[in-house]
Structure 1
Amino acid sequence: MNRFNPSLLEKLEWENKKISKNNIRTTPISQGEKLGGEFHLIMQQIGLGLPVELFLKAYPQIDKWVEVAKPFLDIPGSKQWNTEAQYLYKSQLLYANYDLIIYQEKQVIGLDWTIQKTSNFQLLENSFHTQLRLFLLHERTQLSASEISLVYLFVNTGDVYQFTYSKEKHQAFKERLEATLLPFLAEVEDFPKQTSSSCTLTPQEAHDKWLAKEISAEEYLAAIPEVEL
């Protein structure tokens, strides 16, 4: 079983499209990113009900960001802070992180707050970071797709993007997901064909193949008949 988050899925999609590695750039952590990490930590502490007033007085910039986020913290519902959602899709584990998930009776809202500059709406909507999060909320809750939404809050500017979901978007993403994971899904489909031969082996044949590392320990054990006590 493999694990895939939005970043890994994007890299796989890039490789499938044969995009040059020169287009993928890495940069050192900036001072702004360090402040962003501290902001996320403060938001987690707020979620736990811990006092943060003294810290906010010492860091007025982070205090401003927290003020922008506060109205969203008052949305009613059962809340999960800084959480990870997982879903096993065709033997592949998909997962994504959320700053906050709010569960209401007939609606679920995922929230992501960031100090980054406001992104292009369409590019962000089509990204795996958005589509996988919406997909996971739908699969995990079994609510109607129209009752799923994801909110991005850009605390630097106060801009808010809300992305909704639908049956059509869900189906389109599944097709994109399967195209991206195709090599790994093919391995799973071939697995029974590769291992079915162990069922027809005699115990001695299975033992010999196991010693020669031609079959796995699980296949070896499967070829040994059960003995009633």
Structure 2
Amino acid sequence: MSAKNFSTSQPSQGAIATEAGTAIADPEPIPRLSQTALNRLEKCPRWFQNSLIEHRESPLDPQQQQRLARGNQFHQLMQQRELGLPVETLLGEDDPLRQWMQDFLERAPSHITPNPFCGSIEHREAEHERRLVWQDILWLVRYDLLLLSPDQAQILDWKTYPRPRSPKQLRNTWQTRLYPFVLAETSSYPPDAISMTYWFVEGSPSQESESSSNSPEQPSQCWQFNYSQLDHQKTRQDLETLAQQFHHYWRAYQQGQDFPRRGPAGGACDLSNCFCQTLDSLGQPAACPPTALKEIPEVSL
């Protein structure tokens, strides 16, 4: 298997795969879904409608705005670094981003590269976007960094919020599931050759995580999830179900019917503890409660 032609393989079951920027026009406008959209659609369809269709979001508080700006900065610096551009001169001595970068450069290289016996990296690309047309939906992903060797593909994602206590919280998110799924469907890499690695710039050294697929030697800032054929089959089934639900909701919405509300546990929504945003008497969005991962805004699709 050659990493150099990984994007030319045809996806399965009639899907259409492209890379961002490829001059392949969609045959007709179709819905576009990303991992952010899937998370919201699954938690509460009305939240999906309010935030991603009608763009009604609660304004960020100053602390969230600061974290968002800092997260965007870090992603930009990592992209510049991959392009071979200097980044140290852009950071002040007391800038927290400088410490984040130093920690990454000192601790990450030996933990976020493909296994040595699988061969050297033949292709690496920051902010790599991929698209998959399947189930009459355009699925969109953006990898902070993609590392490809002849027999292994590694997707990396930078997280600028504190690491969750348990890897199960992250394993079950749609980012961890959709990102490897799209790569497997749009490349010649089998699911067992794909992994998803998160690097938490703040880490969580004082907390002990539960066992995952990681090597015990990896730093607390790094979590890796190995994909598998079983994961791929389960993700395909769940995506098919969500796609059917989405099309049903979307057709009804076009006829003037709102997406349904759903409570955090998947049951009926009581409006007092819901992921969706409601409108107050002044027509302004009410505050939206945080998700399990606190849904701290950062660069993501």
TM-score over 0.5 (shorter chain): yes
Q: Distance in 2 between matches of 1:52 and 1:16?
A: 41
Aligned counterpart, 1:181: 243
**C-alpha contact (below 8 Å) 2:200/2:222 kept by paired residues:** yes
Give 4+ residue runs of structure 1 displaced > 6 Å after superposition.
Answer: none
After TM superposition, the structure 1 stretch with the greater mean CA deviation from structure 2, 100-109 or 33-42, is 33-42
**C-alpha contact (below 8 Å) 1:109/1:149 kept by paired residues:** yes
**What SS does structure 2 have at the residue aligned with 1:30?**
helix
Larger Rg: 1
**C-alpha contact (below 8 Å) 1:100/1:111 kept by paired residues:** yes
With over 3 angstroms needed to count, the CA separation of the structure-2 counterparts of 1:132 and 1:182, relative to structure 1, is same
Q: Distance in 2 between matches of 1:57 and 1:66?
A: 12
Instruction: Give the drift of 1:61.
Output: 1.5
Over the matched positions of the two proteins, sequence identity in percent amounts to 27
Q: Distance in 1 between matches of 2:88 and 2:144?
A: 20
Instruction: Give the drift of 1:27.
Output: 3.6
User: Pairwise mapping of residues 65-214 of structure 1 onto structure 2 (< 5 A)?
Assistant: 65-70=100-105, 71-72=108-109, 75=113, 76-77=120-121, 78-119=123-164, 120-157=166-203, 158-184=220-246
Instruction: Give the drift of 1:66.
Output: 1.1
Report the AA paired with residue 31 of structure 2: N
CA RMSD of aligned residues (A): 2.7
**C-alpha contact (below 8 Å) 2:135/2:240 kept by paired residues:** no
Q: Distance in 1 between matches of 2:76 and 2:128?
A: 13
Structure 2's unaligned 5+ residue stretches are 1-29, 51-56, 114-119, 204-219, 250-301
Aligned counterpart, 1:213: none
**C-alpha contact (below 8 Å) 1:152/1:161 kept by paired residues:** yes
Q: Distance in 2 between matches of 1:186 and 1:142?
A: 33
With over 3 angstroms needed to count, the CA separation of the structure-2 counterparts of 1:81 and 1:18, relative to structure 1, is closer
**C-alpha contact (below 8 Å) 2:135/2:243 kept by paired residues:** no
Q: Where is the strand percentage greater, Structure 1 or Structure 2?
A: 1
Report the AA paired with residue 61 of structure 1: P
Count of aligned residue pairs for this structure pair: 184
With over 3 angstroms needed to count, the CA separation of the structure-2 counterparts of 1:123 and 1:49, relative to structure 1, is same
With over 3 angstroms needed to count, the CA separation of the structure-2 counterparts of 1:5 and 1:150, relative to structure 1, is same
The CA deviation string for residues 26-79 of structure 1, in whole angstroms up to 9 with x for no partner, is 743332322121111111111111112211344541111112222339845110
Instruction: Give the drift of 1:137.
Output: 1.6
With over 3 angstroms needed to count, the CA separation of the structure-2 counterparts of 1:39 and 1:121, relative to structure 1, is same
Which residue of the other structure, out of 48, 51, 72, is the alignment partner of 1:37? 72
Asked which structure has the greater RCO (Cα within 8 Å, sep 6+), the reply is 2
With over 3 angstroms needed to count, the CA separation of the structure-2 counterparts of 1:25 and 1:127, relative to structure 1, is farther
Task: Give TM-score scaled by structure 2 length.
Answer: 0.55
Report the AA paired with residue 80 of structure 1: E
Q: Where is the helix percentage greater, Structure 1 or Structure 2?
A: 1
